[in-house]
């Protein structure tokens, strides 16, 4: 796939996702019962949801649905629900009791903009609202239940939350590469995996394709975190939109500190190649996903 075609397809997915998010967060939507509390939470939630994120997770959901021959319009609700859960995790991740980051995507973090209490509640709201969005989608009850189960499992105490707990623990202990990989497979990889699998589930794909999507998500999620660690050392605040060197400041073991820059870069590229190999089962329909994998590995922000 040429870079031009890739960009056109990426922007097509983004337009669908952003349009659906606008509809979901419309204050006149039937979903909402009016109150002052609602208006405040909508302000807080929209501040983070509509920041300049790459929307990688919902794009993966639509792209895998597309690769399986499904209707990407029907996948938008689940894709947006996953993006809402990802956004909640970022809001909570920035809180003083967690990573204590004052900036996210080039502007003040939610707790700096609205205060810790409202930021905490905005994260809670996004998490719970995400499941409401899936429940009112137009799928069969069977597909809704499968999606809700997979998302809850990936985002919950044995998935993303477990990874966050381990990430905090890692700040006060020496870790080997296996410990770091386990942490990142949970904290970052789980939500990327479920984004990929959900697209297949919505399209009615078979178990082999769902498993291949899961492998792709594991590999690309880990590669994404390795690149994040590299950028924390090599990039600038202007490029990333958040402070750099935070891992060093927090005494965290990273792929860079354990492997060195050159080896870490090689590891990210190896994982990306393995992710692309997992897409063979989808044939030519996976061309966009292959290009996305290489683009994420080469990113500089």
User: What average pLDDT does this structure show over 260-265?
Assistant: 94
For 39-53, write each residue's pLDDT tens digit. 999 999 999 999 878
Domain boundaries, the chain: 3-297
Structurally, at CATH architecture level, domain 3-297 sits in Orthogonal Bundle (1.10)
pLDDT of res. 106: 83
- For tokens 């609205």, the residue is 114
Token pair of 177, please? 């590469």
Q: What is the pLDDT of residue 105?
A: 83
Q: What is the mean pLDDT of residues 271-300?
A: 96
pLDDT at position 238, please?
59
**What's the mean pLDDT when you consider all of the chain?**
92
Can you point out the beta strands (E) in the chain?
103-104, 107-108
Lowest mean pLDDT among 92-106, 175-189, 259-273: 92-106
- Paired with 107 in beta bridges are 104
* Three-state SS at 109: coil
Which position has the higher pLDDT, 301 or 165?
165
Rounded to whole angstroms, the Cα distance separating 137 from 222 reads 31
Q: Are 202 and 66 in contact (CB under 8 A)?
A: no
Position 199 pLDDT exceeds 90: yes
Percent of the chain with pLDDT over 90: 81
Report, as an integer, the average pLDDT of 147-168.
Answer: 96
Query: Is the pLDDT confidence value at 245 over 90?
Result: no
239 contacts: CB under 8 Å, gap ≥ 6: 231, 300, 301
Q: Please answer whether residues 162 and 109 qualify as being in contact, where contact means their C-beta atoms are separated by less than 8 angstroms.
A: no
**Over the stretch 100-150, which tens digit does the pLDDT of each residue have?**
999 988 899 999 999 999 999 999 999 999 999 999 998 999 999 999 999
pLDDT at 83: 98
* Angle between the N-to-C axes of helices 141-155 and 160-169, in degrees from 0 to 180, rounded to the nearest 10: 10
Question: Average pLDDT in the 151-156 region?
Answer: 98
Residue 30 reports pLDDT greater than 70: no
* Helix, strand, coil percentages, rounded to 5, for the chain: 75, 0, 25
């Amino acid at each position: 796939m040429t870079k031009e075609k890739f960009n056109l397809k990426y922007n097509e997915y983004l337009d669908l996702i952003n349009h659906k998010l606008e509809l979901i967060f419309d204050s006149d939507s039937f979903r909402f019962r009016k109150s002052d509390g609602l208006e405040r939470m909508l302000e807080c939630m929209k501040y983070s949801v509509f920041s300049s994120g790459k929307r990688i997770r919902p794009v993966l959901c639509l792209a895998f649905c597309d690769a399986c021959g499904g209707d990407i319009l029907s996948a938008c609700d689940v894709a947006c629900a996953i993006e809402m859960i990802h956004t909640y995790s970022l809001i909570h991740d920035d809180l003083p009791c967690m990573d204590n980051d004052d900036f996210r995507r080039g502007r003040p973090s939610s707790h700096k903009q609205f205060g810790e209490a409202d930021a905490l509640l905005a994260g809670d709201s996004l998490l719970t609202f995400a499941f409401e969005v899936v429940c009112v989608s137009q799928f069969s009850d069977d597909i809704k239940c499968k999606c809700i189960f997979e998302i809850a499992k990936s985002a919950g105490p044995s998935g993303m939350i477990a990874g966050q707990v381990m990430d905090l623990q890692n700040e006060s202990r020496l870790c080997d590469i296996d410990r770091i990989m386990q942490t990142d497979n949970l904290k970052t990889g789980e939500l990327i995996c479920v984004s990929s699998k959900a697209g297949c589930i919505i399209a009615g794909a078979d178990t082999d394709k769902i498993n291949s999507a899961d492998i792709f998500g594991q590999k690309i999620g880990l590669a994404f975190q390795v690149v994040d660690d590299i950028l924390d050392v090599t990039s600038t605040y202007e490029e990333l939109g958040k402070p750099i060197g935070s891992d060093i400041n927090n005494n965290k073991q990273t792929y860079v500190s354990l492997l060195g820059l050159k080896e870490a870069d090689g590891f990210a590229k190896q994982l990306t190649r393995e992710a692309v190999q997992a897409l063979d089962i989808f044939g030519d329909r996976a061309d966009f996903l292959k290009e996305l994998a290489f683009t994420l590995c080469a990113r500089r922000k």
